[in-house]
């Protein structure tokens, strides 16, 4: 499923970067919150990002979507642990 993962990663709505600046290490992307793109500095609405991911996932495998979203949130969290892109806004 590695290919599937690659094709559905969270991306900045504005510049399509996959790097996000999260407010603190334990931050988890939640519905209704905003995450700042580490590349262009603009705020992305987490709900929209997850919606996009979910829509893409639905196209590929509907019953796999929820698992993917859960994994993306964990991956994102993991990815930013110790990230050099952490910054406060």
Contact set with Zn ion (CB under 5 A): 12, 14-15, 17, 37, 39-40
In whole angstroms, how close is the CB of 2 to Zn ion at the nearest point? 24
Considering the complex, state which of residue 12 and residue 65 has its C-beta at the smaller distance from Zn ion: 12
In whole angstroms, how close is the CB of 18 to Zn ion at the nearest point? 9
Three-class SS of residue 61? Answer: coil
Considering the complex, state which of residue 15 and residue 61 has its C-beta at the smaller distance from Zn ion: 15
Q: Which helix (H) or strand (E) holds 37?
A: strand 34-37
Q: Which residues contact 17 (CB under 8 A, 6 or more apart)?
A: 11, 37, 38, 39, 40
Considering the complex, state which of residue 64 and residue 86 has its C-beta at the smaller distance from Zn ion: 86
Do residues 17 and 81 touch, judged by C-beta distance below 8 A? no
Residues facing 36 on adjacent strands: 21, 43
In whole angstroms, how close is the CB of 16 to Zn ion at the nearest point? 7
Considering the complex, state which of residue 21 and residue 65 has its C-beta at the smaller distance from Zn ion: 21
């Amino acid at each position: 499923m590695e290919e599937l993962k690659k094709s559905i990663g969270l991306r900045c709505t504005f510049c399509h970067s996959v790097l996000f600046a999260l407010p603190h290490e334990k931050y988890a992307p939640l519905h209704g919150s905003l995450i700042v793109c580490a590349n262009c500095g603009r705020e992305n609405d987490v709900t929209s990002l997850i919606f996009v991911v979910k829509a893409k996932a639905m196209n590929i495998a509907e019953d796999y979507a929820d698992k993917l979203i859960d994994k993306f949130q964990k991956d994102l969290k993991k990815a930013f642990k110790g990230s050099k892109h952490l910054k406060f806004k």
